[in-house]
Structure formats: C-alpha cells, structure tokens
C-alpha cells in the first residue's frame, strides 16, 4: 500500500515540504504492535499459532485498533502473500444485498493463493449493512467456511443479527487507557523529533478519549505549528475547552451565580466555537471529578441527560445550555 502524503506548500520560501501522515506511518503491522488490547491479542495469537481461525467479530468504539488487528491477523497468517488472500470492504459504502451476492461471494468461492489454507474477507463497519444484506451474508459465511474466513468489525455488536454473532468468535475492544495513549504518543514524538511537555501528553489523552487516531492527529496538527507542544496548543487545535474552565463553569453555576456562569458559557460557545454537544460532553466528564453528595450528583446527571437528549432532537443549543446552568443554579438553594 503506497504511503499517504500530506503536502505543505510555503509559497514565499519557494519550496515544498512533504510529510507522511502519521496515522499511516505508525499503523501496526503485527499483532504485537497493537496497544491497549492485551487480552484480545493474546487469544488471537493462539488462533494463528494453531492456524485454526474461526469467523471473528470485533466490536468497540472508533480508533481502538479493530482494523489494525484484522490486517495484522492476515499478515501473520499469510506472510508475504497476505494481499492475495485478503480483501477489505467498507460496509458503510457498500451496504446492499448485491454486494454480498456478487462481490463477497465471488471472492469467497475462489481458491486461496500460495498454498494458504483459506482466504480472509474483512468487512469494516459491518453494523451499517442492511438487514437483507446481513441475512445473505449469514448463508455465504456458512457455505464457504472451508474456503474463507470472515472478520467483521463494528461499533455496536447489537446491530449485527444474532445468526451472524453466533457464527463468530466475538471480541470486544475497549477504549484505550490514558497510559496506553501516552506511551504511544511519546514513542511517535521521539521518532519525529517533537518535544511534548507532560501537560501536552495529558491534554492529548484527555482529548482523545480512548481514540488513538484522534490522539495521533492531534499530535501531528500541533507539531506543524511548533516543535514544542503544550496543553494550550492541543486544546486550541482540537477546539476543546480546558477541563479547568469547565470545572469553573460548573462550580460557578452550583454557587448560584447564574449570570457569571452564563458569561463563562458565552466564552466557550461564541469565542472558542464549541458546539452544544461538546460542552455537554465535557460537563458530564467533569462532574465525576467534583466532590458532590450522591443525591445531588444523581439529580445533576439526570438533568444533563435530559439536555443532551433535547440537543440531539434539534433544540436550540444556547437556550438548552443556559437552561442547564439554570438547573444547576437552582440546586444551589
């Protein structure tokens, strides 16, 4: 696979700098390179060692290594001939029944190349397949199981029909820990000659929320601005509020000072450009770091959930966020 390139032109200087996209450059090529999923990787290694691989279903949030793991399985099984015996389809782009009946079926029924025992079809974002396509896929998986193995990845395994789940060994990928993200970011920064302060590492882990792709993108975006990265740069690039400002906003509202809290909210939304969902998400995360009585915490979380639902349904962001602060202010009494 050719490396993706990102080109940055500096017209005044008359030269062009080409820099590899770090997500592609540091994509894992072996199972041992996948970070933060130790239990899953160990079990997959036992399959590869015995060369007795069942159909697999990987579920979990984005950016935690599902696709990298699927490709690594193929690499370790087929070595240099992995490209001929492995095909990847993104089910969100090709999600109809015709794809299963023709494209997938045609690949599945052909013989493996280079003495391999079987071929692998990797369906990324399989939860986007229609119900009819999943039903057709169930029969294809059953009919060509001696010739082909399927690896499905999805964000929500509940959207995969039960007959397919029962045919697969299901592996659930969890969000990456802050330690795993920090370790990988330090490794990349060292290789690229970028200096990242400790508070910058913490900011990247906070922004990523378990998503390695987002962490690496944030690091590279910051590295294009300066060779020394601090937390302020990370928060600015990713349009994320400082956690301290969110905590201050909550405490001001809980203190009963609605007017001051509203002004702090205006800074976040109007000046920094945060969306309503961004603010709600950060408020929710900050709540659990506050020392509040359990009864009050339950009431506030219930209010946050109600406001989040209203925003999802299309309600006015500014009104709903101010209503949330009003609820908080009322609880101060």
Dihedral (C-alpha) 89, 93, 97, 102: value to the nearest 10 degrees? -50
C-alpha 72, offset from chain centre: 18
- For 88-110, what is each residue's pLDDT tens digit? 887 666 666 666 777 778 787 78
- The answer as to CATH 1.20.272.10 being correct for domain 243-331 is yes
Computed over every residue of the chain, the mean pLDDT equals 85
Provide the 8-state DSSP code for 320: H
Cβ neighbours for 217, distance < 8 A, ≥ 6 positions apart: 22, 23
Nearest by Cα to 197 from 232, 224, 247, 245: 232
Q: What angle do CA 44, 46, 51 make, to 5 degrees?
A: 95
308 or 22, higher pLDDT: 308
3-state SS of 77-141? HHHHHCCCCEEEEECCCCCCHHHHHHHHHHHHHCCCCCCCCCEEEEEECHHHCCHHHHHHHHHHH
Inter-CA distances, 233 with 80, 102, 265, 266, 332, Å? 42, 49, 21, 21, 35
95 or 215, higher pLDDT: 215
- For 242-260, what is each residue's pLDDT tens digit? 999 999 999 999 999 999 9
Give percent of the chain with pLDDT exceeding 90: 46
Mean pLDDT of the region 194-205: 92
Q: 7 in helix, strand or coil?
A: strand
Whether 34-172 and 5-25+177-237 are alike in CATH topology: the answer is no
Inter-CA distances, 86 with 13, 47, 62, Å? 45, 17, 22
- The answer as to CATH 3.40.50.300 being correct for domain 34-172 is yes
Q: What angle do CA 74, 111, 144 make, to 5 degrees?
A: 80
pLDDT at res. 287: 94
Q: Contact, 165 vs 127, CB < 8 A?
A: no
Q: 262 in helix, strand or coil?
A: helix
Lowest mean pLDDT among 79-83, 152-156, 297-301: 79-83
The model's pTM is 0.80
Annotated domain spans of the chain? 5-25+177-237, 34-172, 243-331
Q: Which CATH topology does 5-25+177-237 take?
A: Helicase, Ruva Protein; domain 3 (1.10.8)
pLDDT at res. 98: 67
Mean pLDDT of the region 295-312: 94
What are the strands of the beta sheet with 119-124, ordered from one edge? 86-90, 119-124, 148-154, 55-59, 168-172
Q: How confident is the model at residue 235 (pLDDT cuts 50, 70, 90)?
A: very high
Q: What angle do CA 227, 63, 107 make, to 5 degrees?
A: 125
């Amino acid at each position: 696979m050719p490396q993706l390139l990102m080109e940055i032109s500096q017209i005044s200087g008359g030269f062009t700098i080409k820099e590899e996209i770090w997500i592609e450059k540091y994509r894992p090529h072996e199972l041992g390179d996948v970070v933060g999923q130790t239990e899953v990787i160990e079990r997959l290694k036992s399959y590869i060692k015995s060369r007795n691989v069942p159909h697999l279903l990987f579920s979990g949030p984005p950016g935690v290594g599902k696709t990298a793991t699927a490709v690594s399985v193929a690499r370790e099984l087929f070595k240099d001939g992995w490209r001929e015996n492995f095909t990847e389809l993104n089910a969100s782009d090709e999600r109809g029944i015709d794809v299963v009946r023709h494209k997938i079926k045609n690949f599945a029924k052909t013989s493996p190349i280079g003495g391999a025992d079987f071929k692998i079809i990797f369906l990324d974002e399989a939860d986007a397949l229609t119900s009819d396509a999943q039903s057709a896929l169930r029969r294809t998986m059953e009919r060509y199981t001696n010739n082909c193995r399927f690896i499905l990845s999805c964000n929500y395994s509940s959207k995969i029909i039960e007959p397919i789940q029962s045919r697969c060994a299901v592996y659930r990928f969890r969000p990456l820990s802050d330690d795993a993200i920090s370790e990988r970011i330090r490794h990349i920064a060292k290789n690229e000659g970028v200096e990242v302060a400790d508070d910058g590492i913490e900011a990247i882990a906070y922004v990523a929320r378990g998503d390695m792709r987002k962490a690496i993108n944030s690091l590279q975006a910051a590295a294009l601005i300066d060779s020394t990265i601090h937390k302020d740069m990370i928060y600015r690039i990713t349009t994320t509020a400082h956690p301290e400002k969110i905590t201050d906003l909550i405490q001001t509202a809980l203190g009963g000072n609605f007017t001051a809290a509203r002004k702090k909210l205006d800074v976040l939304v109007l000046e920094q450009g945060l969306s309503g969902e961004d603010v709600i998400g950060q408020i929710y995360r900050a709540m659990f770091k506050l020392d509040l009585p359990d009864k009050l915490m339950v009431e506030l979380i219930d209010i946050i959930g109600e406001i989040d639902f209203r925003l999802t349904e299309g309600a006015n962001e500014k009104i709903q966020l101010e209503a949330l602060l009003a609820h908080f202010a009322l609880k101060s009494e």
